[in-house]
């Protein structure tokens, strides 16, 4: 790079930090009932802006040096051999499940009609790839107060057609990985961990995302770290890594990075399928794939966010602990969340379930919190089988979905993300408590 261009580049990056400080000032006092208490959001500053501009000035536009750096560093953080960057957590789930249908897996590949064990209470895109691949979800219930799959009697849900387990760590709380891993090993089932809400969560001292055959992550602005839009599939299995990469990159057999040719040194020497000998490997396809790559602009933001991730995780744990203590006097009227035994969650939110009619209706409480500008969310889709989109899908139900229905009617969650201050958390807890006390006085 010419010296004058390098100097201009350095000046632009320096100015970006000054711009961020001027455009996004900090320190304004929180005004209860006037300023919002968001349920989630991004936490970023001039470092992310400088990284974004640095990538933009490369003008590569597609995946490049920042994507490679993020994949390497994120895999190291989680503790897997491979990370593949994609354009969303939903795409990550699609790729993970689709990879298990690859013919390259031989007799272990999933085929249409095979069953996949999951839960009814969750986010749609954990379940959708099961249906999109012609597989049959087996819906199990969840436990309160962990909001994860109920493992008692779960072994009875496994039939001769069950071939995989796909589960999310609900709101960052790890599911019972010891029992789920035991079942997967005993019956030869694939395990996909949906970690989209759980970056940094620990189970028995080990990060989630390292227990399954595949793990998925989301980098949407609401999540633990953000790229705007983005996600990743992680694995330590080299064959699964190759399959996921193929599916992500149009289904091609070639593994060259964008803009590069003949990485293998045999571009014109392959004989695959019924193609003529020496057909260009760059245009040889081994899977029915997609284009689900992310850009270097997104990856650059992710690299900057990764440096802050330990602080983000600790802030989420601290904020959760604050709310847990503040609301503990009301446990006779609220089911408060508990971490799964042996886990240390990196919480995505603080779930609350109302106990009985004396608590007042959830609808009334959420309307009150909305009036006070305190953000809330339901536990995603509730019981998905009650949703219009899933009314007639092929499925099987294990046992009764009692708690899935309960969270659909009585559960919501409030935020714990690092952008929340103690005055915001105090106001949120006080507002919930005030509603309960007024209800008890009636």
pLDDT at residue 262, rounded to an integer? 77
Structural domains of the chain sorted by starting position, each given as residue range(s) with its CATH number in brackets: 53-298 (3.40.640.10), 309-440 (3.90.1150.10)
pLDDT given for residue 356 in this prediction: 81
| Pairwise CA distance, residues 315 & 424, whole Å | 14
Decide if 48 contacts 21 (C-beta within 8 A): no
The shares of helix, strand and coil residues in the chain, as percent rounded to the nearest 5, are 45, 15, 40
Our CA dihedral for 430, 431, 432, 434, rounded to 10 degrees, sits at 80
- The angle, 0 to 180 degrees and rounded to 10, between the axes of the packed helices 422-441 and 296-327 is 40
Strand partners, 214: 192
Angle at 67 (CA atoms; ends 214, 177), nearest 5 degrees: 20
The pTM is what?
Answer: 0.94
pLDDT at 3: 83
The CA distance from 354 to 335, in Å, is 6
Contacts by 155-160 with C-beta closer than 8 Å and gap 24+? 155/183, 156/398, 157/117, 157/398, 157/399, 158/117, 158/183, 158/187, 158/189, 159/115
Q: Are strands 115-119 and 162-168 parallel, antiparallel or unpaired?
A: parallel
Burial class (CB in 10 A: 0-12, 13-18, 19+), 90: buried
Q: Which of 48, 77, 51 is nearest to 66 (CA)?
A: 51
Distance CA 342, CA 175 (A): 10
The rounded distance, in Å, linking the Cα atoms of 43 and 362 is 29
Distance CA 439, CA 442 (A): 5
How many Å separate Cα 113 from the centre of its chain? 26
Max alpha carbon distance in the chain (Å)? Answer: 82
What is the rounded distance in angstroms from the CA atom of residue 117 to the CA atom of residue 99?
Answer: 17
**Strand, coil or helix: what is 235?**
strand
Task: Examine residue 279 and say whether the peptide bond preceding it is cis (omega within 30 degrees of 0).
Answer: no
Q: Are 97 and 133 in contact (CB under 8 A)?
A: yes
- Please count the helices (runs of H) and the strands (runs of E) in the chain: 11, 14
Q: Are 398 and 154 in contact (CB under 8 A)?
A: yes
Active site residues: 223
- Give alpha helix (H) positions in 219-327: 238-248, 296-327
Q: What is the DSSP letter of 108?
A: G
Per-residue pLDDT of the chain (442 residues; tens, 9 = 90+): 678 889 999 999 999 989 999 998 887 899 999 999 999 999 999 999 999 999 999 997 888 999 999 999 999 999 999 999 999 999 999 999 999 999 999 999 999 999 999 999 999 999 999 999 999 999 999 999 999 999 999 999 999 999 999 999 999 999 999 999 999 999 999 999 999 999 999 999 999 999 999 999 999 999 999 999 999 999 999 999 999 999 999 998 877 777 778 777 888 877 878 888 888 788 888 999 999 999 999 999 999 999 999 999 999 999 999 999 999 999 999 999 999 999 999 999 999 999 985 455 999 999 999 999 999 999 999 999 999 999 999 999 999 999 999 999 999 999 999 999 999 999 999 999 999 998 765 5
In this prediction, residue 314 carries a pLDDT of 98
CA distance 48 to 304: 5
Of residues 441, 431, 440, the one with CA closest to residue 365? 431
Local structure of 152: helix, strand or coil: coil
Collapsed DSSP state (helix, strand, coil) of residue 68: helix
């Amino acid at each position: 790079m010419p010296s004058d261009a390098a100097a201009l580049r350095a000046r632009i990056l320096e100015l970006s930090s000054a711009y961020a400080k001027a455009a996004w000032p900090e320190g304004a006092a929180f005004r209860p009932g006037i300023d919002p208490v968001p349920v989630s959001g991004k936490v970023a500053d001039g470092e992310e802006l400088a990284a974004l501009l640095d990538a933009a000035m490369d003008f590569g536009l597609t995946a490049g040096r920042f994507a490679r750096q993020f994949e390497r560093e994120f895999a190291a953080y989680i503790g897997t051999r491979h990370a593949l960057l994609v354009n969303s957590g939903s795409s990550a789930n699609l790729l993970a499940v689709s990879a298990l249908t690859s013919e390259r897996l031989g007799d272990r590949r999933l085929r249409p009609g095979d069953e996949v064990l999951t839960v009814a209470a969750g986010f749609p895109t954990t379940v959708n790839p099961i249906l999109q691949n012609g597989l049959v979800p087996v819906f199990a219930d969840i436990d309160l107060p962990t909001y994860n799959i109920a493992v008692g009697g779960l072994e009875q849900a496994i039939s001769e057609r069950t071939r995989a387990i796909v589960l999310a760590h609900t709101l960052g709380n790890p599911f019972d990985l010891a029992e789920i891993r035991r079942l997967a090993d005993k019956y030869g089932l694939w395990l996909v961990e949906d970690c989209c809400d759980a970056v940094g969560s620990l189970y028995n001292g080990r990060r989630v995302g390292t227990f399954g055959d595949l793990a998925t992550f989301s980098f949407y602005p609401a999540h633990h770290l953000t790229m705007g839009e983005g996600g990743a599939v992680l694995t330590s299995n080299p064959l699964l890594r190759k399959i996921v990469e193929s599916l992500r990159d149009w289904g091609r057999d070639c593994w060259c990075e964008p803009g590069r040719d003949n990485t293998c040194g045999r571009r014109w020497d392959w004989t695959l399928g019924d193609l003529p000998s020496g057909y260009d490997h760059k245009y040889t396809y081994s899977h029915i794939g997609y284009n689900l790559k992310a850009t270097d602009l997104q990856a650059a933001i992710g690299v900057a966010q990764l440096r802050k991730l330990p602080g983000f995780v600790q802030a989420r744990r601290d904020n959760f602990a604050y709310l847990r203590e503040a609301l503990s006097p009301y446990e006779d009227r609220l089911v408060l969340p508990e971490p799964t035994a042996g886990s240390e969650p990196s919480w995505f939110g603080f779930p609350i379930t109302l106990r009985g009619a004396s608590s007042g209706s959830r609808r009334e409480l959420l309307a009150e919190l909305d009036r006070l500008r305190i953000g809330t969310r339901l536990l995603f889709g509730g019981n998905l089988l009650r949703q219009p989109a899933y009314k007639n899908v092929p499925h099987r139900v294990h046992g009764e979905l009692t708690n899935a229905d309960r969270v659909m009617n009585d559960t919501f969650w409030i935020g714990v993300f690092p952008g929340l201050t103690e005055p915001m958390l105090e106001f949120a807890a006080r507002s919930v408590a005030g509603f309960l006390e007024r209800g008890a006085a009636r």
